[in-house]
């Protein structure tokens, strides 16, 4: 009689590495990416965690169909939320593996780096960054010259202002020990996309870091979601960091727009007085309306571009913004007069009032005008 071979059920190995892949409309790219990851990561217990922000192209269902066949693939479908950094954070925190990586879905990041990153981590590194600017790396055809310039400037600023010494702090391709991320998770900005810079400047003790060069390829299918405004947002993150995180990025953008509104106000005032020949009172009223409209449009384009209001919602948003600003003015004048009452230094009272008004407008408009869906 032939000896019976006892079949031991295959117990899947707990993953050693979670590769977090944030996606928005990447239906045609993710399947290719997963195949490529599988082909390079022999001998590593890996899993892929796709974090999809409810892409209209159905990326999540494509990924879940793969996951139904392949236990190494998982998908988090987030509804009612957008944002690259937030998606990466959630993916990393959903992992139980000791090591996590972040990688784009569009095949711009060279998967051949993955096994080498794992090797560096196994040798003791805390963080391994795929860099376009360390010897041998390049942005290949994947970058426009204007973004190249923005990226270089931002890198220099990160060095000067935050003391972050990476050749490519904006890289979206890195591997890190999960415990390092867990430790600072609560401090990370969910807005924007500068997740690596954010982590590196938040950790207390310096990370043992290795940078590996790679060539940033051209995007495969679909289109980029990051526009030239990312540089403005990045500057916001730098200032937010400098304030010790007290001032959120959005408030800084809101305040900058507000400052430009003062200029718009004065231009409109002189236009109404000199060109239209209105009385001062009417001109001032005209200028207030012009400045509020200016602020609304700019905030809608920049500060809240991830929640941009269009069509009918644009007009109802504008009305709520006028309302918010009216109450903001009451808060402004009220506080200024109150302070002036016991401390009659006009500029102190005036400035405090203006700051109060700005904070009020920011808080109220984030709830009433650009509430997240």
Residues at the interface with Mn ion (CB under 5 A) = 106, 108, 219
**Whole-Å CA distances, 287 to 31, 170, 262, 265, 332:** 54, 40, 10, 5, 18
Distance CA(40)–CA(32), nearest Å, equals 13
Question: Strands, E, within 53-200: which ranges?
Answer: 73-77, 99-102, 127-131, 174-177
Closer to ligand GDD by Cβ: residue 236 or 353: 236
Closer to Mn ion by Cβ: residue 64 or 219: 219
Distance CA(22)–CA(19), nearest Å, equals 10
Please give the radius of gyration of the chain, using alpha carbons only, rounded to the nearest integer: 25
> Which partner, Mn ion, ligand GDD, none, binds residue 370 by CB below 5 to 8 Å per kind?
none
Tokens 């415990």 sit on residue:
179
> Which partner, ligand GDD, Mn ion, none, binds residue 320 by CB below 5 to 8 Å per kind?
none
Shortest distance, CB of residue 49 to ligand GDD, whole angstroms?
A: 11
| Closest C-alpha among 197, 48, 181, 184 to residue 114 | 48
> Which partner, ligand GDD, Mn ion, none, binds residue 332 by CB below 5 to 8 Å per kind?
none
Shortest distance, CB of residue 321 to ligand GDD, whole angstroms?
A: 24
> Which partner, Mn ion, ligand GDD, none, binds residue 51 by CB below 5 to 8 Å per kind?
ligand GDD
Q: Which residues bind ligand GDD (CB under 6 A)?
A: 22-24, 26, 51-53, 82-84, 87, 104-106, 108, 151, 170, 172, 193, 224-226
> Which partner, ligand GDD, Mn ion, none, binds residue 139 by CB below 5 to 8 Å per kind?
none
Distance CA(185)–CA(173), nearest Å, equals 18
Closer to Mn ion by Cβ: residue 142 or 353: 142
Closer to Mn ion by Cβ: residue 57 or 119: 57
User: 249 with 189: CB under 8 angstroms?
Assistant: yes
Q: Are strands 46-52 and 99-102 parallel, antiparallel or unpaired?
A: unpaired
Shortest distance, CB of residue 163 to ligand GDD, whole angstroms?
A: 20
Distance CA(174)–CA(19), nearest Å, equals 10
Shortest distance, CB of residue 172 to Mn ion, whole angstroms?
A: 8
Shortest distance, CB of residue 147 to ligand GDD, whole angstroms?
A: 7
> Which partner, ligand GDD, Mn ion, none, binds residue 226 by CB below 5 to 8 Å per kind?
ligand GDD
């Amino acid at each position: 009689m032939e000896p019976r071979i006892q079949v031991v059920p295959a117990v899947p190995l707990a993953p050693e590495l979670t590769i977090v892949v944030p996606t928005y409309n990447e239906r045609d790219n993710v399947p290719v990416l997963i195949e490529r990851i599988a082909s390079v990561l022999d001998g590593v217990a890996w899993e892929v965690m796709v974090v999809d922000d409810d892409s209209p192209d159905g990326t999540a269902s494509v990924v879940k169909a793969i996951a139904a066949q392949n236990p190494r693939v998982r998908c988090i479908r987030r509804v009612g939320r957008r944002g690259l950094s937030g998606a990466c954070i959630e993916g990393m925190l959903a992992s139980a593996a000791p090591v996590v990586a972040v990688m784009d879905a569009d095949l711009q990041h060279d998967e051949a780096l993955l096994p080498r990153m794992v090797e560096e981590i196994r040798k003791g590194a805390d963080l391994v960054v795929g860099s376009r600017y360390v010897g041998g790396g390049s942005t290949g055809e994947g970058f426009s010259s204007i973004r190249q310039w923005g990226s270089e400037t931002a890198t220099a600023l990160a060095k000067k202002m935050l003391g972050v010494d990476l050749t490519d702090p904006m890289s979206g391709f890195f591997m890190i020990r999960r415990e390092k991320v867990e430790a600072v998770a609560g401090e990370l900005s969910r807005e924007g996309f500068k997740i690596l810079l954010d982590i590196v400047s938040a950790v207390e003790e310096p990370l043992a870091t290795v940078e590996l060069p790679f060539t940033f390829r051209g995007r495969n299918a679909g289109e980029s979601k990051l526009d030239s405004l990312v540089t403005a947002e990045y500057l916001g993150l730098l200032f937010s960091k400098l304030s010790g995180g007290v001032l959120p990025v959005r408030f800084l953008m809101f305040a900058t727009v507000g400052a430009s509104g003062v200029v718009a106000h004065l231009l409109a005032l002189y236009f109404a007085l000199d060109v239209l020949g209105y009385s001062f009172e009417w001109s001032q009223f005209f200028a207030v309306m012009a400045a509020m409209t200016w602020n609304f449009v700019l905030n809608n384009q920049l500060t809240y571009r991830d929640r941009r209001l269009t069509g009918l919602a644009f007009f109802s948003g504008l009305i709520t913004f006028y309302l918010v600003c009216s109450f903001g003015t009451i808060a402004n004048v009220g506080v200024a007069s109150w302070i002036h009452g016991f401390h009659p230094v006009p500029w102190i009272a005036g400035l405090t009032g203006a700051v109060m008004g700005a904070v009020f407008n920011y808080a109220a408009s984030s709830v009433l005008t650009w509430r997240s869906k």
